[in-house]
Amino acid sequence: AVAAASTLALVVLLVARAVRRRASASLPPPAGPAARVALDPRARGAIAWVVEADEEAAAGRYAEAARKLYLAVLAHQDARGAIDARPGRSNGEHLRSYKGPAGFLPPFRAATVAFDAARYGGHDVGQAEWIALRHDSQPLLPGARFERGEEV
């Protein structure tokens, strides 16, 4: 009787956990201040975004890695004064209002188009897309050649 009661309690606990997980997975993304911070390039420095992006990629979460990598690009370009990375601005608005060195507009445009295609293109972001995004974004991140005064 004790074993049966223990087994029943364990089954109830496991079912309750599964229901809770399924319910939380179906909830919409958080709204309010937490959601705004999660999408705000200014919420942390570019290097922190890059570290998070690389961690996501190492875990195989390439779509999330791509999002955080582009947030790193936006954060760094904002810190340099090339864009105004306020939350709510579209990637197109960032491109149209770019005021950084002219030589860096083409890589910024390429990174933005590649990110948009990966994020909103209707297909999964895989390892190959991640590697291409990481490579194309490199000139726009801290420590890149332009940081040392070199041309692209």
The answer to whether residue 91 scores a pLDDT higher than 50 is: yes
What pLDDT sits at residue 31? 47
Share of the chain above pLDDT 90, in %: 51
Q: Which residue has the higher pLDDT, 61 or 151?
A: 61
Q: How far is CA 38 from CA 12, 49, 80, 86, 138, in A?
A: 35, 11, 21, 13, 22
Q: How far is CA 71 from CA 18, 23, 37, 60, 74, in A?
A: 33, 29, 11, 18, 5
What pLDDT sits at residue 143? 86
Closest CA to 137 of 108, 94, 100: 108
Q: Which residues contact 48 (CB under 8 A, 6 or more apart)?
A: none
What pLDDT sits at residue 8? 53
Quickly list DSSP for 32-96: SHHHHHHH-GGGS-HHHHHHHHHHHHHTT-HHHHHHHHHHHHHHHHHHTTS----TT--HHHHHH
What pLDDT sits at residue 64? 93
The answer to whether residue 14 scores a pLDDT higher than 90 is: no
The answer to whether residue 27 scores a pLDDT higher than 70 is: no
Encode pLDDT of 49-79 as tens digits.
999 999 999 999 999 999 999 999 999 999 9
Structure-block tokens of residue 137: 């974004």
Residue type, 51: V
What pLDDT sits at residue 71? 95
